[in-house]
A and B are shown apart, each in its own frame.
Chain A
Amino acid sequence: MLTVQAQEQATKETVQTGWFNGMTLGLDVSGPASLLINGSGTGAVKMDVNVRNKYFPTIELGRAKWDKTNDLAHRFQTVGNFAKIGLNLPISIKGDRAENAFLAGIHYGYSRFSYDIDNILLDNYWGSTALRLQDETARVGWLELSLGVRVRAFGPIGLGWTFQYKRSLHQKNGSHSVPSYIPGYGQNTKPSAGIQAFIYIPLFP
């Protein structure tokens, strides 16, 4: 009996100490839901590699669509891609392949996109003038700190959410404007925050 337990323990440790402990594909579900409901949202796919159950380097690719009119009747429209790269570290972990985990991470995000701003009113002594800015192009890089959980829900499939805290690091604005929204970053404020829900699918388990 002792021998069997020792063998199981040895096998378990072999799994835990191997440098490659599988990969996980994450599909954003909250962004597409928002896109369906109000016409603006984000779709993203992320992949992380489990290294020794200690380090989770991750890459995320996504596309965002934003079409909103603010209180001043300015209409901002963009469709753009973004990418994020970074590292997640487990605060708490359960399972040989991190099936259940509470993760904290640091990421760098980047987006290059074009946008239109419509119905801008300019008031001065000469009266009120409506302007339209078309095909403005901007580039933005940002730092993202994240906290998230993921749990095994249906067989190998997991569910989870990630809270993100973001701050832009560098920004090249359009030739006549500052973009109101940045794909992958959200509304152009310093800082910005967001939350995403994911479905997780283990690969090469």
Chain B
Amino acid sequence: MWKRNYSRIRFFVCLTGLAGILSACASMGCYEDNSVRLQVGFYQQSSSSLVAIDSVSIWGVGSDSLLYNNKSLQTFELDLNPLSNETRYVIRVQDGLFRMQDTLTIRHQNQPWYESSDCGCVLHSSIDTCFTSETLFESVTIQERQVQSNDIQHILLNI
């Protein structure tokens, strides 16, 4: 009789222990900024390195709000347009009295990703092609076509 009860108690204790282990791996809520943006860098081909440029202003074509206003930038982030497969930004550099500007065009496919009711939705994208008007930058290099993480440099603007 005791042996039979002992095996039942042992089964119950094992289940309780397993429940405890599973609880220890419980996931947390959404506590991070989960927006994904295009990561861009200024790249000097002669030195094969990222370079900082002073007095940079950036805004979207068709938008009247500045994303960056006279900032010194080496790398920066851009939002892709969720309602279009083409996003265009004007990049202007002020150097004393001289002002130069270029237009960066990114053609992309949008893939919205709904993570959870806490974290909401993020826009993942896939870059098809990328080019500039070549007044300020010589060319564009696509380093990573999948825009799904902020931890990687997606495109480089070659000076």
Contacts and interface: CB of A to CB of B under 8 A. Distances in A.
Question: Which of B12, B111, B121 counts the most A-chain CB atoms under 10 A from its CB?
Answer: B121
Q: Give the 3 A-B residue pairs with the shortest CB-CB distance, closest first.
A: A177-B114, A125-B79, A124-B79
Contact of B63 (A125, A133, A143): A125
Interface stretch (B15-23, B40-48, B97-105, B134-142): B15-23
Given A91-B12, A145-B19, A176-B113, A126 B79 contact: yes
Nearest to A74: B117
A115 B111 CA distance: 18
Contacts of A167: 22, 25
Interface of B: 8-9, 11-12, 15, 18-19, 22-23, 25-27, 35, 37, 60, 63, 65, 67, 78-83, 87, 111-117, 120-123
Contacts of B115: 177-178
A197 interface: no
Nearest to A181: B117
Given A104-B15, A145-B18, A189-B27, A122 B117 contact: no
A19 to B, nearest CB: 17
A177 B114 CA distance: 4
Contacts of A104: 11-12, 15
Contacts of B23: 191
Interface in A118-169: 120-122, 124-126, 129, 131, 133, 143, 145, 147, 165, 167
Q: Secondary structure of the B side of the interface?
A: mixed
A50 to B, nearest CB: 15
Interface in A152-205: 165, 167, 176-178, 180, 188-191
Contacts of A129: 82-83
Given A117-B114, A176-B113, A125 B60 contact: yes
Given A91-B12, A120-B121, A126-B63, A133 B79 contact: no
B18 A178 contact: no
A90 B8 contact: yes
Contact of A122 (B9, B87, B112): B112
